[in-house]
Amino acid sequence: MEALIQENIILRKEIERLKEQLMKKNESETVVQLACGGQHSLALFKDGTIKGWGNNEFGQSQAQNFSAEGRKAIQIACGQKHSVALLDDGTLRGWGDGLVTYIIEEKQSDLSYKAVKKQNNLLEFPQFSQKVIRIICGDLSSCALLHDKRTVVTWGYPYTKNIFTYDKDVKQIECGGVNYFIALFEDGTIEINGYFAFLTQASRDRLLTTIKENHKSIKRIACGWGFFLALSDEKFMSYGSYLHLESNPNEVINLKNITHFGCGIKYCVIVNNNNYLKIIGPGFIRNYIEKKKDEVSSLEQYSQVYLKTNSELKSNVVHLACGPNHFTILLENGDFISYGLNTSGQCIKPVFLSNNQFEKKYLKYKNKYLQLK
């Protein structure tokens, strides 16, 4: 009898060990967030590892694993040529060329920015007084929300002011292109910081008044170059310069029950709970979506997926990430779809998502630091 009991104990331990291994395997296969940079894309897995694809000239799409530090990544963000990860201890790691320091060269009244390479492609960060709980990147900058939820720190171009302290809690921060970021507060109001859509202070104040009149409480925002989108219970609207978008999205946004949305330079993407996809921005559609294969000299220059607007997706969208000229969609059935400029392979389906072993393993995990929809 004792021998049988001992055998049963050993068997139970073996079962627990196998379960533990299986859980670890599932965590290493479960994508919890995507991010898009200028010409690269990243995927964050539940086990805290990061894998990337696309342009890697500055090491910006290099795979990352922080387990040697006893840490795991819980959020990722991309700029034009740099990537940043927020770790579970509230610290940041960055790689690529973040243009944190830059040289300004004036050429025929145009300003061009040449990056200063960092040793080993690792980025330097400012000293934070608290843990970071949210990270977002502009093209040439990064932006962090600190633990008190009232302090935002920025670095990179064009910010001369680096610390923004508010008198109410921040719910979301979003960067728009190279010039500005927006803080969305828990009470549903927003504040625009930086050089947005060529606005004077008076114009900015009028814009904020208009937004307040249109929205009782904003729930989420997304920023493009010179325009941004705002979602509340009552309305979903765009604000800013339509020159960047090449059309007024308020004239064509008529989706109800919106679940995901994001912005690039001249486009925005909107998905509702019926898996109805709308891409707004004629330039984006004309250049990247409606090209026929026989009209494209090199398929590598464009997305492998050619869909018209108003398309219906075959499975639930679990995450959407937008870059300046491309975006990626993660579906619950295991599909991974990319649209847009594909000059460096940023829209090609990555090898680690090339089979069905990941089917229905996406986003089975919620993280208080991530705002994924």
Task: Considering only residues 140 and 49, tell me which one the structure prediction assigns the higher pLDDT.
Answer: 49
Q: How far apart are the first and last CA of the chain?
A: 56
Task: Considering only residues 9 and 145, tell me which one the structure prediction assigns the higher pLDDT.
Answer: 145
* pLDDT value at residue 157: 77
Task: Considering only residues 59 and 194, tell me which one the structure prediction assigns the higher pLDDT.
Answer: 59
* pLDDT value at residue 285: 62
Confidence of residue 364 (pLDDT cuts 50, 70, 90): very low
pTM of the model: 0.80
The answer to whether residue 368 scores a pLDDT higher than 60 is no
The answer to whether residue 70 scores a pLDDT higher than 80 is yes
Q: What whole-number percentage of the chain has pLDDT above 70?
A: 69
Confidence of residue 74 (pLDDT cuts 50, 70, 90): very high
Q: What is the mean pLDDT of residues 168-195?
A: 90
- Which CATH number does 29-358 carry? 2.130.10.30
Domain ranges across the chain: 29-358
| 3-class secondary structure per residue, the chain | CHHHHHHHHHHHHHHHHHHHHHHHHHHHHCEEEEEECCCEEEEEECCCCEEEEECCCCCCCCCECCHHHCCCEEEEEECCCEEEEEECCCCEEEEECCCCCEEEEEECCEEEEEECCCHHHECCCCCCCCCEEEEEECCCEEEEEECCCCEEEEEECCCCCCEEECCCCEEEEEEECCCEEEEEECCCCEEEEECCCCCCHHHHHHHHHHHHHHCCCEEEEEECCCEEEEEECCCEEEEECHHHHCCCHHHCCCCCCEEEEEECCCCEEEEECCCEEEEECHHHHHHHHCCCHHHCCCHHHECCCCCCCCEECCCCEEEEEECCCEEEEEECCCCEEEEEECCCCCCCCCHHHCCHHHCCCCCCCCCCCCCCC
Confidence of residue 320 (pLDDT cuts 50, 70, 90): very high
The answer to whether residue 1 scores a pLDDT higher than 90 is no
Q: What is the mean pLDDT of residues 169-174?
A: 95
Average pLDDT, the chain: 76
Query: For 108-123, what is each residue's pLDDT tens digit?
Result: 333 333 334 455 567 7
The answer to whether residue 365 scores a pLDDT higher than 50 is no
98-107, 155-164, 280-289, 342-351: least confidently modelled range:
98-107
In this structure, which amino acid lies at residue 197?
A
Q: What whole-number percentage of the chain has pLDDT above 90?
A: 30
Query: For 214-270, what is each residue's pLDDT tens digit?
Result: 888 999 999 988 889 999 887 888 888 776 676 677 766 777 888 899 999 888 889
Confidence of residue 288 (pLDDT cuts 50, 70, 90): low
Tokens of 292: 């026929």
Rg (CA), the chain: 22
Going from the C-alpha of 361 to that of each of 23, 43, 307, 366, 369, the distances in angstroms are 12, 14, 25, 13, 20
Task: Considering only residues 33 and 6, tell me which one the structure prediction assigns the higher pLDDT.
Answer: 33
* pLDDT value at residue 357: 47
* pLDDT value at residue 35: 95
Confidence of residue 273 (pLDDT cuts 50, 70, 90): confident
Question: Dihedral of CA 115/62/303/361: which sign?
Answer: negative
Task: Considering only residues 357 and 83, tell me which one the structure prediction assigns the higher pLDDT.
Answer: 83
Confidence of residue 41 (pLDDT cuts 50, 70, 90): very high
* pLDDT value at residue 283: 65
